[in-house]
Amino acid sequence: MDRYICIHGHFYQPPRENPWLEAIELQDSAYPYHDWNERITAECYAPNTASRILNPDRIGGVRDFESDEMFASMRQDIEDIFHKNNIQDLIHAIDKHFLTHRYSLWHLFRDEQRAILDEIFNDTSKEIELSFRQIYERYLPVLQALGERNIHFPRYFYPVIEFILNMDMQRALEDDAIDFELLDRHITELKRWQMHGDRVMQGFIAGRRINEYMTEWQEKYDETTVLEQTVRLLKVAEELSLELNIWKAQNIYFSVGRKVMATMQQKKNAGDAAARTWLELFDQLGNLLKVRI
């Protein structure tokens, strides 16, 4: 009597995108991957995307396994074309290797679609920025002179100015060691042209950095350097009216404060100048985080 076994693979991931950013934020528990979609794809889905088929009667989008060399050649062929951003040639290459058994970009999860499209458009984005920056740097002195004299200039310069200032703001916020003087200059320029930039993205980056600062401070809470940086960044966010997702930072503040605030107060009362400075910064931080202990 013939016996059969059926294996059902339920390949599903719940939506994890931030609805405002349409992007998945960093998920620490998925380390070393960026988020759980990436980790599950790498550990579960990817190992099951290729299989040897010993029976010639097959259904689905999987072709017969021939050899490791053939697979490596196919992968290299498709990968080379992909990095050239030639979509038509890429489709022809997939047709050549998989015949009619192929899938499109739109079969992927939304975050995977975005990741691939981001890579496709990455070179285009760099070209646009290069062109805009050349225009910005070439005409900026003239535009500044016109602005100082309240003389209007063509409206098509505004998207160029806003794009460049927005990119500069994002890079300043993402820098490992934030240069707050440089950040202040970018903010001054935005205000000069009465622009805001991409507040959603600025808020996302600033919120992430604040959470990172507070996580670092939690390990060495008696130092004031990270406290000062966090206070300065929160003041920048307040000045720009950014919406922040900083519940993690707020929880850390409350937890650390409950543990050490009384000790720091005793040291201050005993004349410890460092403890007095710490408490002043801690109080500022609490006001900015809107947390009371």
> 206 and 169 in one domain?
no
Per the domain annotation, does 257 fall within a domain?
A: yes
Same domain, 159 and 213: no
> Can you tell me which residue has the tokens 């801690």?
282
208 and 254 part of one domain: yes
Tell whether 131 and 207 lie within a shared domain. no
Q: Which residues contact 130 (CB under 8 A, 6 or more apart)?
A: none
Domain match, 215 and 277 both: yes
Domain boundary among 180, 197, 214: 197
Q: In this structure, are 191 and 205 located in the same domain?
A: no
pLDDT in tens, 167-197: 999 999 999 889 999 999 999 999 988 888 8
Q: Are residues 224 and 272 in the same domain?
A: yes
Q: How far apart (Å, rounded) are the C-alpha atoms in residues 129 and 160?
A: 9
My answer on whether 139 and 226 are in the same domain is no
What percentage of the chain reaches a pLDDT higher than 90? Answer: 42
The residue-averaged pLDDT of 139-151 equals: 88
Tokens 């850390």 correspond to: 252
Q: How many domains does the chain have?
A: 2
Displacement of CA 16 from its chain's centroid (Å): 14
Confirm whether 212 is domain-assigned: yes
- Rounded CA-CA distance 198/86 in Å is 30
Q: Is 52 within a domain?
A: no
Dist. CA 110–CA 87, nearest whole Å: 19
In a domain, 35, yes or no: no
User: Mean pLDDT of all residues in the chain?
Assistant: 82
Q: What is the pLDDT of residue 61?
A: 44
**169 and 239 fall within a common domain:** no
Residue 163 confidence class, pLDDT cut points 50, 70, 90: very high
Instruction: Please check the confidence at residue 222 and state whether its pLDDT lies above 60.
Output: yes
Q: What is the pLDDT of residue 165?
A: 93
288 and 236 co-located in one domain: yes
Structural domain span for residue 190: 121-197
Helix (H, G, I), strand (E, B) or coil at 196: coil
Identify which of 8-22, 62-76, 119-133, 278-292 has the greatest average pLDDT: 278-292
Q: How far apart are the first and last CA of the chain?
A: 73
| Contact in structure between 279 and 264 (CB atoms under 8 Å) | yes
Q: Is residue 150 part of a domain?
A: yes
**Domain final residue pick, 165, 197, 229:** 197
For residue 94, what pLDDT is reported? 72
Q: For position 132, what pLDDT does the model report?
A: 94
89 pLDDT more than 50: yes
Q: Is the pLDDT of residue 45 over 80?
A: no
Say yes or no: 193 and 172 in one domain: yes
Percent of the chain with pLDDT over 70: 81
Residue 88 is assigned to a structural domain of this protein? no
What is the rounded CA–CA span in Å between residue 208 and residue 246?
8
Domain boundary among 197, 220, 247: 197
As a whole number of angstroms, the distance between CA 4 and CA 150 comes to 81
Tokens found for residue 180: 């707050």
User: Is position 66 within any domain?
Assistant: no
Assess contact for 21 and 204: CB atoms under 8 A.
yes
Q: Is residue 73 part of a domain?
A: no
CA distance 15 to 1: 45
pLDDT, average across residues 87-115:
66
207 and 289, same domain (yes or no): yes
Dmax (CA) of the chain: 93
